[in-house]
Each structure stands twice: as C-alpha cells, then as structure tokens.
Amino acid sequence: MKINRWVVTAAIMAACGTGAEARADETSDTIKALREQIEQLDQKVRVLERKGELERETTVEKSAATPRLTID
Amino acid sequence: MNQKINIRLKPLMVLLPALLGATLASEGKEIKLLNVSYDPTREFYVEFNAAFAKQWQTQTGDKVTVQQSHAGSSKQARAVIDGLPADVVTLALAYDVDAIAQRGKLLPADWQKRLPNNSAPYTSTIVFLVRKGNPKGIKDWDDLVKPGVGLIPANPKISGAARWVYVGAWGYALKKYGNDEAKAKEFVTKFYKNVPVLDSGARGATTTFIQRGIGDVLVGWENEAYLALKEAGPDKFEIITPSISILAEPTVSLVDKVAKRKGTEAVAKAYLDYLFSAEGQDIAGKHFYRPRSEKAAAKYAGQFSKVTLFTIDEVFGGWSKAQKTHFDDRGTFDDIYKP
C-alpha cells in the first residue's frame, strides 16, 4: 500500500512537472513566434522607410535635372 | 635723388619679370581632370589620385587635381553622353563605355584595345555579405532563392554591380541546370522575389543593408564587401564567397573629345596608364580589387577566397547581347522583376 502511495505521488509530481514543462515550452514557443513577427514587422517598416528615402532622392534628382524658365 | 633711385632700380626692374617668370615656371601649370566613375570606387580613387598627382608633379612640375564623380555606372554613362565633361571614365562594365562611344560619339569604337587587359586594370567578382553568425545559413547561390531570405542587390537598370549580380545568378543557374534557359529564368525570378528594395547603386545597397539594417544578404562587389567588413568590423558581418561567380571587369577610357577640347589629353592618358603601373596596381589591391599585374596579384592573393570564375562572353556572348536580352526596356529583367 505504501508503495502504491509512493507511486501515485510520484506519478502526480511527474504529471505536474510535465505540465509545467509543457506550459514553459508553450510560452517559449509563443515568445519565439512573437519575436519572429516583430522582426518581420520591423523589416517591413525599415523597407517602407528606405523606399520613401529613395523616392525622395529620385524626386530631388529629377527636379534638379528639369530645366526652369523664369520671366523677369 | 630721383635719378639715383632710377639707376639703382633699373637692373631690378629688368630682372623682376624674369624672376617672376622663373617662379611661375617652377610652380607649373594647374590642371583639373574629371574622373567619372561608378559607385564604390570612391576610396580607391582618393588614394590613387593623390599618388598620381604627386608622380605627375615630380615628372612635369604641373599640379593636377582630379575631381571625382560617383553614381550607378549606367547613370554615369548617360550623364557623360548628356554633357558631364569627363576627361576619363572608369566604369563598372564595358557596355557603359560602349554607350558613350556609340551614342555620345565621344570616343572611338575600338577604345577597349587602347590599354592592356581590354582596358580593365583590375577585376572583381560578386560575393555575399551576411550578418555575423550567418543566421540564414547562406553558403551558395542556391541559398539565396529560399523563401524568407532577404536579398539586397542594386537595380540592374542603373547599376553596373547589379548587372554583374544578375549575370552571376543567371550564369550559376545555367551551369546548374545544364544550360536550360527556362530554369535559369525561374531561378533568377525567385532571386528577385526575395529582394525587398532595389537601390540605384552599389553604395546605396550597402547603406540599405548595413546602416538601415534591411535584409539578410548584401549581394554585390567583392571589394565593397571587404571594405564594409573593414569599416564595420568582423564582429558584425561575414563574407560568403560562392562556389562559382562572374569575373567582373570594370573598364576605363579616355573621353577623347572632352579631353581634346580641354587640352588635357596627355595628362588624362598618363592618368589611365598609371592604373596599370606597379603603384596603381598596388593601390588597387589595397582597396580589395583583384590586380592584373602578377606581382600585385600575388601580394594580395591571401585576402581573397578562392572562387571559380566564368566570363560574360562564356555565358551571354558579351555585354551587348546580354544588355539587349536582359536589361533593355521590355527585356527579361522587366519581365522578372515586379515590385
């Protein structure tokens, strides 16, 4: 009987442990997924900013190259 | 009293113009040259120009100042055709100098035969610069077309480096798929699907990758990659040399009509010759270009990884054909790249 009690206790502890580990794995997976999403969003923002910079550069170059007529 | 002064000053007044003339002659003429070049040659030509100016002054007494202009190679060729008064051009590829000869009529069609090595004083190739630790596990061209890999090349319609990148990728695919053009096109299409932003020049692409932190791989000039590594530090980036790549041959030429008009032909020719001299070749090696001379090539061999190189003639039958098929309006690149 004593042995059975020990077995049950051990089983419960193991189960609890596994659950905690599973929760920890779940949390770390979620964090990993969130981190990846943040990195992807960060890249998207950077790309949009850079495209804006390049467009502005092109506009400046084009306006510098456009001949201007002034009438006094 | 006045007479006395006149008598004393007379010899001086006779000597003064002679002395002034001698002084001016010893100072020499002031000459200005304009070198219109492609994007990442800035640092190389700063050092080269100073060395040439020193050598020219020692040789002739004349003081030469070389002004530099840098941007994407095709853009620079167009600027020269449109009137930018370049005494010399040092561009990323022969096709851009051909354009100046054919469309601008500013130099003879056989310009490439005037200097050694088809007027290409140094060579380079295309390599990959990745972030430290190589997080995407890039080893060769195949890894660049995997989903989720961000590539940063420049725009092949404007930049010479970018056209070398394109032909490098295409050449690799042709070799891999037994010269199957359809499969090569599929490969290069996948490559450009991984490109989030196209810069107008190689230096801009470096800015996008290094300073703006965009993408996983900078695909571009070997010399630019080594320069970036030197400046940013090996703790931030790594260079990956693919198994095979393209032999990139940047070419140089006198812009005959401009130099003749400005009276700078002799010094401009000497400037280009100096690129092939021992000093010029050494400076090229120092700036991570692959020198042509055996001595300089041997001196700097250790700084480059070994790579099998193929030429534009082998794979595309020359630049004219490649340009017409791939980069002209409605060419293959326009079909492939849909931003």
CB within 8 Å: A54 and B150:
no
Total of domains in chain B: 2
Q: Is residue B91 part of a domain?
A: yes
CATH number at residue B162: 3.40.190.10
In this model, does residue A12 exceed pLDDT 90?
Answer: no
Same domain, B203 and B231: yes
User: Are the beta carbons of B163 and B126 closer than 8 angstroms?
Assistant: no
pLDDT at A57: 86
CB within 8 Å: A46 and B214:
yes
Count of A-B CB contacts under 8 Å: 22
Same domain, B132 and B183: yes
Distance CA B55, CA B72 (A): 30
Same domain, B221 and B236: yes
CB within 8 Å: B199 and A47:
no
Give how far A70 is from chain B: nearest CA, Å: 23
Using CB atoms within 10 Å of the CB of residue B9, give its burial: 0 to 12 exposed, 13 to 18 middle, 19+ buried: exposed
Q: Is residue B2 part of a domain?
A: no
Give tens-digit pLDDT for B23-39. 444 568 999 999 999 98
pLDDT at A70: 59
Range of the domain at B32: 26-123+250-302
Q: Is residue B4 part of a domain?
A: no
Q: Which residue in B210, B196, B241, B244 sits closest to B223, CA to CA?
A: B241
Distance CA B246, CA B312 (A): 7
Same domain, B104 and B237: no
Same domain, B155 and B107: no
Same domain, B55 and B155: no
Same domain, B216 and B325: yes
Chain A contacts to B (CB-CB under 8 A): 43, 46-47, 49-51, 54, 57-58
Helix axes B278-286, B265-275, angle to 10 degrees: 60
pLDDT at B24: 46
Q: Is residue B196 part of a domain?
A: yes
Same domain, B173 and B45: no
Same domain, B110 and B49: yes
Same domain, B170 and B240: yes
Q: Is residue B217 part of a domain?
A: yes
List the structure tokens of B192. 């450009």
User: Which residues does chain A have within 8 Å of residue B204's beta carbon, measured at their own beta carbons?
Assistant: 54
CB of B81 less than 8 A from some CB of A: no
Q: Is residue B14 part of a domain?
A: no
Tell me the residue ranges of DSSP E strands in chain B: 30-37, 63-70, 88-91, 122-123, 126-131, 151-152, 217-221, 237-240, 244-246, 251-254, 290-291, 308-310
In Å, the largest CA–CA distance within chain A is 111
Same domain, B47 and B64: yes
pLDDT at A63: 76
Q: Is residue B74 part of a domain?
A: yes
Same domain, B211 and B315: yes
Q: Each residue's pLDDT tens digit in chain B (339 positions)?
A: 455 545 555 555 545 444 444 444 456 899 999 999 998 999 999 999 999 999 999 999 999 999 999 999 999 999 999 999 999 999 999 999 999 999 999 999 999 999 999 999 999 999 999 999 999 999 999 999 999 999 999 999 989 999 999 999 999 999 999 999 999 999 999 999 999 999 988 899 999 999 999 999 999 999 999 999 999 988 999 999 999 999 999 999 999 999 999 999 999 999 999 999 999 999 999 999 999 999 999 999 999 999 999 999 999 999 999 999 999 999 999 999 987
Testing the interface with B: which of A40, A47, A48, A50 to mutate, by most B Cβ within 10 A? A50
